[in-house]
Amino acid sequence: MKYRLVLALVVLVLVPFLITFRVSSTPSAPPPSPTTAIADTSGTSLRSLAQKRGVSIGAAVALEPLQNDATYRKVLAREFNVLVPENAMKFAVIHPKRNQYNFAQIDTLVAFAKAHGMQVRGHPLVWHYSLPNWLEKGNFTREELKEILREHIQTVVGRYRGQIAVWDIANEVVTRDGSFVDSIWLREIGPEYLDLAFRWAHEADPKARLYYNEYSAEEISEKSDSVYNFASGMLQRGVPIHGIGLQMHKLVTWSFSSSVADNIKRIGKLGLEVSITEMDISIAEGTGPREERLAKQARIYGDMMRVCLSAPHCKTFAMWGFTDRYTWATSWLGTEGAPLIFDESFRPKGSYKALEEALSR
């Protein structure tokens, strides 16, 4: 009798407690991924539709789910033909010590892309962020830093020559007022580090398409004027720049106008390509029921795809991930923004359907 009582106590109290504790002690770990055919879409795929329309479709890819989540791999390979390393190519990851590179992560992504007929977009070579301590605290002279940057760019671009055809060389470098974002490169080398970066990358792979990638420069604005002026200055100086990446991290409250199309047009007139490189639309902000915000999100995705399709020099439409299960919005921005086109169970959202529809016309 006593024994039964103890057993009942264990079952009724201890087991639920343990389950609750486990779940709440790992709040960021999502539940196991569905392994069934839940992720199947209508039989077509975005990549097959995009291919017919002459545009590439991409997603930023994180190593952890690529290695551990079969559904993630399946949907990624089925829907996208461009893979962007979310973090695997950042300076601190790929070049952790002065004389040591770590290509293991990016090689895993490149191998996956190759196995599934996907292009890789190199991202990013020069950024003020994600730099290793040895570099930031190194007290290097100007000449030493120039040599570090040249060696970094030429080692990485050279290693993937013939495998990575498009690169974000410079990431987030100008401010609204046309000055440059503070960084060790700017402080120690001066603004010419940017021209040099493009020239060095071009030397390492003369066939690669080299981009300057920027956020909040989608519409005609002070910031996009700065981007435009900077890029046209580079062209005048004969710097090998081939395109501008518009990141497009936006909120669902974004009310855009024809000004995105106008901006894309003026970049084209410079003779440059454009790509949408990191699109995500957070629904965390704004009022109204969730369903309404999701519908608005879908409209924005569809509209932006149409804008890209109507500009022949808009080459790639890439998102910063593809499933709300794994998005920097949760881990980095700390919001439940549900900003992507598949939900947390890999079901296609309205945003997916909006892209599908835009590509099908």
Catalytic residues: 172, 278
Q: Which is nearer to ligand XIL, 302 or 339 (CB)?
A: 339
Q: C-beta of 198: minimal distance to ligand XIL in Å?
A: 17
Record the tokens describing residue 149, joined without a space: 């940057």
Neighbours of 335 (CB within 10 A): 15
Q: Which is nearer to ligand XIL, 21 or 129 (CB)?
A: 129
Q: Which is nearer to ligand XIL, 50 or 329 (CB)?
A: 329
Q: Which is nearer to ligand XIL, 171 or 275 (CB)?
A: 171
Q: Is the peptide bond before 124 cis (omega within 30 degrees of 0)?
A: yes
> 């190194």: which residue's tokens?
138
Q: Which is nearer to ligand XIL, 249 or 349 (CB)?
A: 249
d(CA 222, CA 239): 23
DSSP string, 145-172: HHHHHHHHHHHHHHHTTTT--EEEEEES
Q: C-beta of 158: minimal distance to ligand XIL in Å?
A: 22
Q: C-beta of 234: minimal distance to ligand XIL in Å?
A: 19
Which residues of the chain form contacts with ligand XIL (CB under 6 A)? Answer: 86-87, 124, 171, 247, 278, 328, 332
For the chain, the first-to-last Cα distance in angstroms comes to: 72
d(CA 196, CA 288): 49
Q: What share of the chain is helix, strand, coil (3-state, %, to 5)?
A: 45, 15, 35
- Residue 82 belongs to what H/E stretch? strand 82-85
d(CA 265, CA 200): 28
Q: C-beta of 319: minimal distance to ligand XIL in Å?
A: 12
Q: Which is nearer to ligand XIL, 3 or 332 (CB)?
A: 332
Check residue 281 and report its DSSP letter: E
Pairing of strands 209-214, 166-171: parallel
Q: Which is nearer to ligand XIL, 122 or 348 (CB)?
A: 122
d(CA 266, CA 271): 9
Q: Are 278 and 319 in contact (CB under 8 A)?
A: yes
Check residue 174 and report its DSSP letter: B
The angle at the Cα of 36, spanning 20 to 325, to the nearest 5 degrees, equals 55
d(CA 58, CA 123): 13
The residue with its CB nearest to ligand XIL is 328
